[in-house]
Structures are given as C-alpha cells and as structure tokens.
Structure 1
Amino acid sequence: MAVIVAGKVYVDPAERDAFVAGHGEVVAQGRARPGCLDLSISPDPVEPGRVNIFEYWESREALDTFRANAPVPSGSVEIEEAQVLKHDIARTGPPFD
C-alpha cells in the first residue's frame, strides 16, 4: 500500500530559506531511494514562515527503510509548529474524476 507523508511546518520567516536548503541532501537522497515516488520540502509562496512537506512512497517499508538511514539535515533551524501526517493510500486515480 502506498504512503503519503504531507503537511506543513512553521519556522522563523527569516530562517525559512536556510531550513529548506538544509534539507536539500535529505530530498536528493530520498528521491534516489527505491520506492520513493516523490519527495519535496519547499517554501510556501503565501506564508513567509511556512514550509510544505510532501513525501510519496510505494510502501511503508520503503519509507521506513529510508528513515532508518536518512541523512541529518544541515543547519539547526527550530521548528515552531508542525502539522504533518502519514496517510496509507488505498486507491489512486485522476484528480478530477
């Protein structure tokens, strides 16, 4: 069963770009892993301190394997608030059917 991890975290707006840049290697290594369908940690275009998190994995096992060996983000930006959830996907299809 596919898994999506998605949500948002909030950091000090002055440190948001450093937070995103500090996760560059995490994103690059995650995307290169077997079972990773997509991974993105990106700045929100509307809220200055918000960072959007999106991970799409073929299976929980693929996600767990990556997490067990994932690189540590560079830098030390404090997360002020996090609203990120893991979703088990039972069905996938076109977005507007």
Structure 2
Amino acid sequence: MGIIITGEIDMAPGTRELALAGAKALIEEALAEPGCRHYSWAADPYLPDRIHVFEEWEDAETLAAHFHAPSYFGMLKHLSGIGIAHAVTRKYRFDRTEPVYGPDGVATARFGDELR
C-alpha cells in the first residue's frame, strides 16, 4: 500500500520563488528519508503565487516518520516565515498501480482485473 499527498499552497503575493528556492534543500532531505518515493514542488504556470505539492510514500509508517523529521519541521518554519496565504493538502491511500498506457499504446482508465 502506498500513500500520495497532493497540495496547493498559495504563498503571500510575490514570494513563491523565494519559497521554492528555500525549500530545495528541505525537499532533498525528505527525498533521502526511508520510504519516500517522490517529493516534488512545482510552480503553477497560471497562478503566480501557487505551489503544487506531490509526494509518494511507501506506507503510513514512513509517512508518520516524515511528520517527525527535521525536513518536515524545517519546511513548516520556512513557509511560515515567508507567509502562506492559503493551503490545502490531501492524502490518498492506494493498493495498486499500473501504467496508463497498455502494450498497444492506448491510454486506459481501467485496471487489468476489470472487465473491458
């Protein structure tokens, strides 16, 4: 079972690039933590103050450990120091992954065990 976290963080006007630059080392620390499969932040190309967050964790235990890690507390301190205007984060638990494109090169929303 894996866990995905997604989020949108709206920074104080004009501070997004500062937030992203300062987050880089903390993101690298999180990526080095056991169970961290992906940890990425990206600037929204349409909303000038928004950052999109994407994380994937191996399981609830490794995510829980992250919530007690220096990288997590460092990120909270970093962003709070700059100013968050609004933030929403969500976690999703999953038990299966498959490629979007099948061997025929066609994208499908169905999983292999579902009736076609």
Percent pairwise identity: 29
How far the C-alpha of 1:21 sits from its partner, in A, is 1.5
Letter aligned with residue 52 of structure 2: N
Letter in 2 for 1:91: R
Deviation per CA, 1:43-84: give whole Å up to 9, x if none.
Answer: 111210100001101111111112211320346111111121
| Greater relative CO (CA pairs within 8 A, separation 6+) | 1
Q: Which structure features the higher share of strand residues?
A: 1
Q: In structure 1, what is the Cα distance between the partners aligned to 2:61 and 2:30? A: 14
Matches within 5 A, 1:1-97: 1-71=1-71, 72-73=74-75, 74=78, 76-95=81-100, 96-97=107-108
> TM-score scaled by structure 2?
0.76
CA RMSD of aligned residues (A): 1.5
Secondary structure at 2:26 match in 1: helix
Unaligned 5+ segments in structure 2 are: 101-106, 109-116
State the alpha-carbon separation in 1 of the partners of residues 82 and 63 from structure 2.
24
Superposition deviation, residue 26 in structure 1? 1.8
Query: 1:24 offset after TM fit, Å?
Result: 1.3
Asked if the contact 1:13–1:50 (Cα under 8 Å) also holds between the matched residues in 2, the reply is no
Gaps of 5+ in 1: none
Computing the radius of gyration from Cα coordinates, the structure with the larger value is 2
Give the drift of 1:2.
Answer: 0.3
Superposed CA offset, 1:14-39 (max 9, x none): 10011112211221011111211100
TM-score calculated relative to the size of structure 1: 0.89
Alignment: residue pair count:
97
